[in-house]
Amino acid sequence: MTPKTVAVAGATGLVGSQMLKTLEERQFPIKSLKPLASERSRGKTVTFKGEVVPVEVLSENSFKGVDIALFSAGGGTSKKFAPCAAKDGCVVVDNSSAWRMDPEVPLVVPEVNAHDITKHKGIIANPNCSTIQMVVVLKPLHDAAIITRVVVSTYQAVSGAGVKALDELDNQTRAILEGKEPQCAEFPHPIAFNCIPQIPGSDAFTDNGYTSEEMKMVNETMKIMGDNSIRVTATTVRVPVHSGHSESVNVETKTKLSADQARELLSKAPGVVVLDDPAKQIYPLALDCVGKDATFVGRIREDISHPSALDMWIVADNLLKGAALNAVQIAELL
């Protein structure tokens, strides 16, 4: 690959930092790196390949001469600055939800729909973290037996809400263990020793009773898979885990797949690792997936309530495959 000038918008955030780390670890051919962040990060630096690089304040003129920009700075920032970057000839890979359902913007998971990258007009959207790990597993099953319906419940780690949310989990845990009242700022309810059946923050309830996070999984799955006939229902839950999203997924298929057939298909699928030996208590765990690039699947079994359905457990590092890694993989394809 020809060395590129690469910008990372939101470089000082949790996902932005992981993007920098992933670019370095995968030896992405960088001619010049341009870390960008908000005014709050003025004067800060990042370290890349052993060198200290000053962070620049993001502006409309930040992208002149930049080939690829990885954005992880929030939807409002992406809406404002991604068109500026595209106008200057830079290709944006955006990690926010701002562009995902825009019909003019490809929504890409490289293991699933890499071909859609060629349709871009300057902006490519990185899907929701929970959607990414699910569709990586769904793709080979859909190709083999045509998925008709998906029922998913997520168990989403606190790191998906950022550094302040992780601090809140730690502080609440400490407070409760010391017999004190836990303080809430990032979440509407205590997250320590608790599960919240909503992904608080930008995750509002919609008119149909689903949250916006749940509807992302519904709509993004159909767009990425290129099949609007796939019916999806989701329940998304924040759990007191630092990193690693887990999902319980039930998949109905037009043609019956046995559990053994599914394991065989998934064992050959790109980006997927099968961990499935319950007799030896081998199955994917959030603790084990942290820092790993793959999406892990296990507890694969035939649904005893349906003649053509499978149950499974899917786990991935939400900051890696669920965000930074997927974005860098898109950049590699570009």
| Active site members | 129, 245
Could you give the CA distance from residue 248 to residue 297 in angstroms, rounded to a whole number? Answer: 10
DSSP annotation string for 85-113: HHHTTPEEEE-SSSSTT-TTS-B--HHHH
Whose CA is closest to 184, among 199, 198, 168?
168
CA angle in degrees (0–180, nearest 5) for 33-165-325: 35
DSSP state letters, 202-251: T--B-TTS-BHHHHHHHHHHHHHHT-TT-EEEEEEEE-S-SS-EEEEEEE
Question: Amino acid letter at 242?
Answer: H
Going along the chain, which residue ranges are E strands? Answer: 4-9, 30-37, 45-48, 51-54, 56-57, 68-71, 91-94, 123-125, 147-156, 231-238, 245-253, 272-274, 295-302, 309-316
